[in-house]
Structure 1
Amino acid sequence: MVFSLPTFTAGMVLSISLIMAIGPQNAHVLRMGLQRQHLWLTVAVCAVADIALIGLGVLSLAQLGGLSDKLHGALVGAGMLFLTVYGWQAFQRFLHPTALVLNQPEEAKAEAGARAGRVQAAPVTRRQALLSALAFSWLNPHAWLDTAVLIGTASLAYGQGSTTFGLGAAAGSLLWFLSLGVAAFWLGRRLNSLHVWRALDAGVALMMWGTVVWLALSLVS
């Protein structure tokens, strides 16, 4: 493999441009960061899952010509179900908003919660956090179609430099999720209010259900 900085940079730019929109995966990272629950585990799992898809696309799917119709339909169906349920959960949080008491001693949490009408975030185990991050990464059809297929196909244009392109795309994914994790951690203390949580949950619900509609239309078109 001959390393080429322009090829590496092209892969990085394409990768970041594909994942920078606030999709299900990014929204989940933000929420875990705001709740102060297993943020860096979530960031690591999302980044590794994305890199795995990039590797799959660059090394195999592009050469195979993409996903089969049956696998495509199965991925879309599973994604629609997952996004519908998660959108409903976000909508319920929108209807019944609560700000969270974050990263304080137990006594301070109880006192602050009673004073401000806030509640402590429901505890999430490491296993639950890991499985949730994997679900948001691999049950989202856009992650497969955009990350694996699009990046894999784009890498073909670079011939023998396709591996360098893939490494750049992987580096872009890692850079993005690290930056998103830092932003979520920094914002956690500053944006913990009913208005912010309600706006976030409303946006997430609309985005999830809008994606479901778009996916349904893509199946019948």
Structure 2
Amino acid sequence: MGYIILFIILAIVLVVIIKKMKKIDKVEQEEKEALLPEHATIKNVGVGGVLTISGFSDDFQDLDFVVEKVNRYERGSSKWYELTGTHQDKKLFIEWEYDDGEFFITATSSKKGFRLSKLGLKEEDLVKFDEDQSQENSFERDGEKFYFEQSGEVVFYEDNRGPGEGFYAWNFKNEDETRVLTVEKWEGDPFEVFEGKVIDHSSIEIFKVK
């Protein structure tokens, strides 16, 4: 008789727990929907936003990313943004631009630049790229061709505000348009090169916008 009573009590407790879990799941889903505007894109993501990039990590696993800072860049009439944050104690930088109804997104897990000499280029080569402004110009790095995209003065707005700080930049893209290289020259500093991976917007899932 005692076992039957115990069984009934456990069954009741189990039912109560299941109901509470369902209620919690419903609340979490409602909170998530409240945080996400309809058809949310990376344009909606601000500081505190949460997103996942599928297959981006070194072992091709999904990478979760919490946005800690949003910076803005401008070159002439062009404008793009940089989301910075941390994934497993590693800094991540995502740059996105929206032009003619399309996103162009790049990401890198390191903002530590390397010297121009590692590209096999000299300052005179950059001057020529700048003067020609031809996308047919290219150079090779480790047997891979990188084509000139554009160059010019860029203004950087940290935290998307303030008067901004200017620097000069040259942009290059590989043949299959999966990787980009950016050469930057800030006043008083040597040339620095940064490498990024091109990301398809469809591989980004947004969980929270801010």
Question: What TM bracket, shorter-length normalisation?
Answer: under 0.3
Which has a greater percent of helix? 1
Larger Cα-atom Rg: 2
Task: Kindly indicate whether structure 1 or structure 2 has the higher relative contact order, using CA contacts under 8 Å at least 6 residues apart.
Answer: 1
Which has a greater percent of strand? 2
TM (norm. structure 1) is 0.24
